[in-house]
Amino acid sequence: PAPVLIGLGVALPAILFFVWWCHRHSLTDLPASRKRAALIVRCILLLLVALALAQTRWFTRHEGLVAVFAVDVSRSIRPAAGALAQKFVREALRARQSGDTAALVTFGVHAHVAALPSADITSADFSPEGPTEATNIAEALDTAVSVVPPGRAGKIVLLSDGNENVSSALARVPELAARHIPVDTVMLPSDLHREALIDRVLAPTRVKIGEPFTVQVLTQALNPQSVVLSMRCIGQSGEQERRVQLTPGRGVFSFETKLVKPGFYRFEVLMQTDPQQDTILRNNRGEAFVHVSGTPVVLYVAPDASAVTYLKQALASYHVDVEYAPPAALPATPASFQRFDSIILSDVARAYLSDAQMAALQEATRDLGVGFVMIGGEESFGAGGYRHTPVEEMLPVSLEIKQQKRMPSVAVALVIEDLEIPSSVNMSKEAAKAMVDLLDPIDEIGVLDCEGFGMGGTGTGGRWRIPLQHVTDRSAIQHSIDLLDNMGDPPNYDPFLMEAARVLQQSEAKIKHIVFLGDGDAVWEASRGGISSTLARIRNMGITVSTVASGADSQGIAFMASIARDGGGSAYVADRPEDLPRILLKDQQTYSAPPIIEEPFVPRKTAGDELVAGLPAMPPLLGYNVATPKPTADVSLVSHRNDPILATWRYGLGRTAAFTSDDQNRWAARWLGWQGFGAFWAQVIRWTMRSLPSLDYQPRVTLEGTRGHITVDAVDRRGQFLNGLVLRARVVGPSHEGAAPPDIPVRQTAPGRYEAWFEAHDPGVYMVNVVRERSGAPSEGAITAIATPYPPEYRDMVPNRYLLSQLAALTGGAMLTQPADAFRANRPASYAYVDLAPWLFGLALFLLPFDVAVRRLHLQREDFVRAREWVQRKLHRRTHVQQPLPNLARLHAAKVRTQMAIPTQEEVQTDLSGGAAHTPQPVAQQKDDAPAAAPAADVPIGRLMDAKRRAREKSQRREP
């Protein structure tokens, strides 16, 4: 890096000068030549380390080019333009030079690598992968850059109409310029010549009751045409229509209207066009939202319209409007709840509501602050089947009864057979899982299959796929049910019902019940008139039997009904999964008492509760649904058994309340004439309503591409900016499901101005709740919304030439018209480098011993001579090869050497007596035809004997 190189350039001369100074003033007693050598080695060592720290590199140039073709395959690219793009790539490949390679990236909402760099990508697949409802050029550029191998010259050839609506391609320009990767652009034409669309619908965010306001419709057209614009308010009767004349370009048209009731209203505008003049019909729709402030509005949901009478009359004097809706009319989207400040469910069974309705109600309360009240009855709370549903999650009470001794325990055995239609096995699984949801932890459940039976009339009684067990781990049991398969399809149900009864008889539960799920095709028993005797034995054991027929014909349904009749249970037919909760709940109520207590009692207020403060003495209630308060709930009223009658809590951004008695003349008969009836319900319902902002601020949401822009201008009553507010937004989109969406901080960007962004890729309605926090808790909120009625790909009708030209100009590329220019024009130079730091460090380590040796080791000339001779001897010994001797000559030479070297006995005695040494006479040389033996000194044993003789002579000379 440059800072390191500059630092070394400044410090290295100083370090070398210091080394030289130390050398000049050194007191070491070394010859001048060695001191100079030490200085040179030390300087070289420091220089190597400095160059390594400076990351010295060796650069080489590459001539080959990697061209990455990024091809737009989004919905805005018409088939003709897509074919043109493929043709352009194929022709460009023919013009590539030696060493050039190409890669292919296709993109819509996301980018995908269709072909890695290679010499030929003509067989690559141009078809889109993933969603194509948007154009993400920025991600395509990022992906294309990642495809270029390091050290290779690369360029990007972008083939698109330039109508990006996700992220920003121009934001990638600095990175592309830094990496010297130019972007050549090819503008794909549009073949739309007849097209009209609704760009957006504009309406005021908030109006007063009866105040006239204008709804503006912004249109675009490519050709002159006559269209009909119609506007209607969702949930209101009537609509406005007008015929208008569109001209090429943009147009603005207006509708005048007013609203006489408070609420959150949704306006929809449709454009009716001539199919001969309009190509795309999905973009002929727009929406806007208006909030009308005024008297609070409450939606009252009950099976019977007459049920709303009592509460509506009581709340009229407290300026709360009540609207009635049957369960089927309960909205299924969070946006549709925004007309109401609170929702009341009065004695509505879970079977009347769909999963979508309950999920929408949960999101409207948790994320958008709509209030929720559940009122009890014979089909409400636990008796209505709401255990383990989104509604129970919202409530401040749990529907699992903790004091289980008041409710008898239940043991249920599910006997399941395979069904004839392919999807019916899943029906059996869904029924089994729904049954688990209805049971409490003290209850027991088991699943028995119908395998192991033959046509002979006897069988093993099936296998217990899930042994009879307490419902303590509900999720584990339901997971085991999901894994069930091959349950068997027997001709006789007798042994399986008896096996289920045998196991149930061993249970200590107070109530024992069998539920048989099948299609009733037991040919064996049908031929012999049923299984009445078996069912009679089961009844005598105190066990009842119910049946659920699915995928059955008329004969099978009749047979299943006879089993239930003889078994003392009920028969049901279910061919849709949504029927199962209602059926199983109804069946449960036939053998198990619902969690209801019907006894007169006077509700008792809890100490310190303010919700019911100031009310007159309460008359008695006649019954209630049994429930258990959740840990963080506030209980205002309790029964004579200390069960909750009125409980409240905060759920997400909303508030919910549970009144476990009813508001009808069954349990609340004496309350209907009580003077505090209206005040009680007005206080409870108003508490659940969302808090409107006390400050004068209202959020606005605009759509920019596929991103939503939230702006809030906060001004107090005196016109002063409000700074330092803690605001957060919660956005509920069209595809949101499950857990609460994350909160988005709304940050201050100017005096009194707060802003935030969110992603809005999917078409639909986006509800935005901007909440102000005080002391870490939400205190007030404001609701707004924006709609994207169709994908952004259908909004832009002409190519964006400006974006494509800017990308090319800012990165050093060009707008191409000829395919051959993809490889010929704007070829960037490419340099590859080799990092020399490891080599420099290695060389420095190699010199380090020499740096030490030249200073510490005192070597003379003779030391180098001896070292040289030693090396030469080692090399000579390794390279010397002894000439082989014939066997006879080698033995003869050994004999002669032995005779010459070993002294005789007289010689030994003479040596011991101190006489002169005897020198043996040489033996005459033998002549034969064999080759002459090698000299004794060249034979290993001869050298050993010579060494022995020299040692003996040296020893004799030392003796006196």
Whether CATH 3.40.50.410 fits 61-192+798-832: yes
Confidence class for position 911, pLDDT limits 50, 70, 90:
very low
Distance CA 72, CA 804 (A): 13
Positive or negative, the CA dihedral 845, 849, 855, 859 is negative
* Strand 753-759 with 707-713, pairing: antiparallel
- Out of 387-396, 819-828, 929-938, least confident range: 929-938
Q: At 154, which helix (H) or strand (E)?
A: strand 153-160
Given a cut of 60, whether residue 900 has pLDDT beyond it is no
Distance CA 484, CA 133 (A): 39
- Out of 83-92, 561-570, 656-665, least confident range: 561-570
pLDDT tens by residue, 188-222: 998 888 899 999 999 998 888 888 999 999 999 99
Q: Give residue for tokens 């990351």.
A: 55
pLDDT at residue 885, rounded to an integer: 47
pTM for the model: 0.67
pLDDT tens by residue, 333-383: 888 898 899 999 999 998 889 888 999 999 999 988 899 999 999 999 988
Q: Pick from 284, 72, 248: which is nearest to 163 by CA?
A: 72
| Whole-Å CA distances, 164 to 133, 137, 198, 602, 802 | 11, 6, 19, 67, 12
pLDDT at residue 951, rounded to an integer: 64
Backbone phi, then psi, for 900, in 5-degree steps? -80, -30
Given a cut of 90, whether residue 159 has pLDDT beyond it is yes
Confidence class for position 405, pLDDT limits 50, 70, 90:
very low
Could you tell me the residue ranges of all domains in the chain? 2-56+836-861, 61-192+798-832, 196-293, 308-401+597-688, 408-592, 699-784, 887-918+927-958
What is the mean pLDDT of the segment spanning 812-830? 84
Common-topology check for domains 61-192+798-832 and 699-784:
no
Query: Residue 738, SS3?
Result: coil
How many C-beta atoms lie closer than 10 Å to residue 478's C-beta?
16
CATH topology of domain 699-784: Immunoglobulin-like (2.60.40)
What is the mean pLDDT of the segment spanning 740-759? 90
pLDDT at residue 855, rounded to an integer: 72
Phi-psi region of 719 (alpha: psi -120 to 50; beta: other; left: phi over 0): left
Distance CA 520, CA 851 (A): 98
Q: Which CATH number does the domain 196-293 belong to among 3.30.1330.30, 3.40.50.920, 3.30.460.10, 2.60.40.10?
A: 2.60.40.10
Distance CA 100, CA 395 (A): 67
What is the mean pLDDT of the segment spanning 484-509? 88
Q: Pick from 106, 81, 91: which is nearest to 823 by CA?
A: 91
pLDDT tens by residue, 789-814: 888 888 888 899 999 999 999 999 99
Distance CA 25, CA 23 (A): 6
38-42, 228-232, 433-437, 841-845 — most confident range? 228-232
pLDDT at residue 444, rounded to an integer: 92
How many C-beta atoms lie closer than 10 Å to residue 959's C-beta?
6
Confidence class for position 910, pLDDT limits 50, 70, 90:
very low
CATH code at 308-401+597-688:
3.40.50.880
DSSP lists the bridge partners of residue 571 as 547
Confidence class for position 935, pLDDT limits 50, 70, 90:
very low
Q: Regarding predicted confidence, which is higher, 539 or 423?
A: 539
pLDDT tens by residue, 843-879: 888 888 877 777 777 666 777 778 788 888 877 766 5
Given a cut of 80, whether residue 719 has pLDDT beyond it is no
Q: Number of C-alpha atoms within 13 angstroms, CB side, residue 105? A: 30
Confidence class for position 284, pLDDT limits 50, 70, 90:
very high
Given a cut of 70, whether residue 914 has pLDDT beyond it is no
Percentage of the chain exceeding pLDDT 90: 38
Given a cut of 50, whether residue 918 has pLDDT beyond it is no
What is the mean pLDDT of the segment spanning 480-489? 85
| Whole-Å CA distances, 796 to 134, 706, 806, 909 | 11, 13, 19, 127
pLDDT at residue 614, rounded to an integer: 83
Confidence class for position 451, pLDDT limits 50, 70, 90:
confident
| Whole-Å CA distances, 80 to 84, 86, 190, 291 | 6, 10, 8, 45
The per-residue pLDDT of the chain, averaged, comes to 82
pLDDT tens by residue, 236-274: 888 899 999 999 999 999 999 999 888 889 999 999 999
- Out of 209-223, 614-628, 938-952, least confident range: 938-952
* Strand 744-750 with 727-732, pairing: antiparallel
CATH topology of domain 408-592: Rossmann fold (3.40.50)
Given a cut of 70, whether residue 304 has pLDDT beyond it is yes
Given a cut of 70, whether residue 28 has pLDDT beyond it is no
What is the mean pLDDT of the segment spanning 567-591? 74
Token pair recorded at residue 300: 């009252």
pLDDT at residue 924, rounded to an integer: 43
